Amino acid sequence: MRLGDLGEFALIRRIARESVVAGAHVVKGIGDDCSVTTCRGNLLRLVTTDLLIERVHFLRDGVTPRQLGAKALAVNLSDIAAMGGVAGDAYVCLALPDDLTVEYVEEMYRGMKGTAAAFSVNVLGGDTTGSKADLVISVTVTGEVERAAVLYRSGARPGDRIYLSGPVGDSGAGLDALLTRRGGGEVDELVRRHLEPIPHLVQGRVIAASRLGHAMIDVSDGVAIDLSHICEESGVGAIVHEDTLPISPELAAYSRHFGLDPTSFALGGGEDYVLLLTGEDSLGSVAATAGVRLFEIGRIIEEPRMLLRRADGSASPLEPRGWDHFKKTDPLR
């Protein structure tokens, strides 16, 4: 069987089988944003890792080394945020091609260290090696969260409201602009949001501290496919209301100008690194008192299917479309 026939997420499920052989300290293994193990007292340890590979995740001539370093760390910090955790230490592994300069690597680390400093994260080590072709960056981040506060993908309940912690679709539109070489005005801002994501660690802590959230994930692959992970792990379904999706003015303007569909970007674009969560009716107002705005976009239902409710009241199946590294489907077309 070819990897493209199976798909990324089905492969992960296969790999997860029999992976834990000494599980006394394991709370959650493969299948969530972080692994979760026992730590000390009422705290749990979080660990996440991510790869950025040239020509797969980025084009070297389309991003500055400082932006690339900052993003490599930010996408891992977003996983810690998705569990409601506090980030701790980072470890960086690099595979460096011959044509890369020392100055490029130093500038990349300046970006990484800037993000680390902003979130009180230490960069403690890693590994470096050569690469015959492309630049490869692998970052691992540790964190901690209180046992009573940790949020998994599996906690959604029928009747929960579905929330987002920020606008979605901007990053997907920014990538579209990069690939089509569009520029100017709102286009440059969308590109910046694609290249410079901000992890929602503060928002994740507020949500976790409220004890009103039930399930959470970060939007890395796209709202539709990331929501499908919550639904699958929780054994529930969802209804999303199209007219409540938080669309930024820049995305709306970009879509109008080039005749594109902002809903497709919002549901399938990916790499926004905001938080997608479910929880109590009062969560939005409680979060607002702590300075965190949540956007309600739908409801969790008992029947295990996902629907998109259109502005005219009609409903259609919400397909779990988003980025799959092996199927390589384009969720925006």
- The CATH number of the domain covering residues in 16-146: 3.30.1330.10
Across the range 263-292, mean pLDDT stands at 97
pLDDT averaged over every residue in the chain: 92
Q: What is the pLDDT of residue 322?
A: 61
Q: What is the pLDDT of residue 332?
A: 44
Distance CA 277, CA 287 (A): 13
Query: In this predicted model, what pLDDT tens digit does every residue of 8-61 receive, in sequence order?
Result: 767 767 866 766 556 678 788 778 899 999 988 999 999 999 999 999 899 999
Q: Tell me how long the chain is.
A: 333
Of the candidate ranges 116-120, 140-144, 271-275, 327-331, the one whose mean pLDDT is the lowest = 327-331
Signed CA dihedral, 245, 292, 203, 107: sign only: positive
pLDDT-above-70 percentage for the chain: 92
Distance CA 199, CA 220 (A): 11
User: CA nearest 215: which of 156, 261, 175, 303?
Assistant: 156
Q: What are phi and psi of 149, to 5 degrees?
A: -105, -20
For residue 181, give both structure tokens. Answer: 């070489």
Contact 226, 293 (CB under 8 A): no
SS3 at position 27: strand
- The CATH number of the domain covering residues in 153-317: 3.90.650.10
Spans of all domains in the chain: 16-146, 153-317
Domains 16-146 and 153-317 alike in fold = no
Confidence of residue 280 (pLDDT cuts 50, 70, 90): very high
Q: What is the pLDDT of residue 51?
A: 94
Distances (CA, A) of 110 to 98, 124, 138: 21, 15, 16
Signed CA dihedral, 68, 69, 74, 75: sign only: positive
The predicted model scores a pTM of 0.91
Query: In this predicted model, what pLDDT tens digit does every residue of 111-170 receive, in sequence order?
Result: 999 999 999 999 999 999 999 999 999 999 999 999 999 999 999 999 999 999 999 999
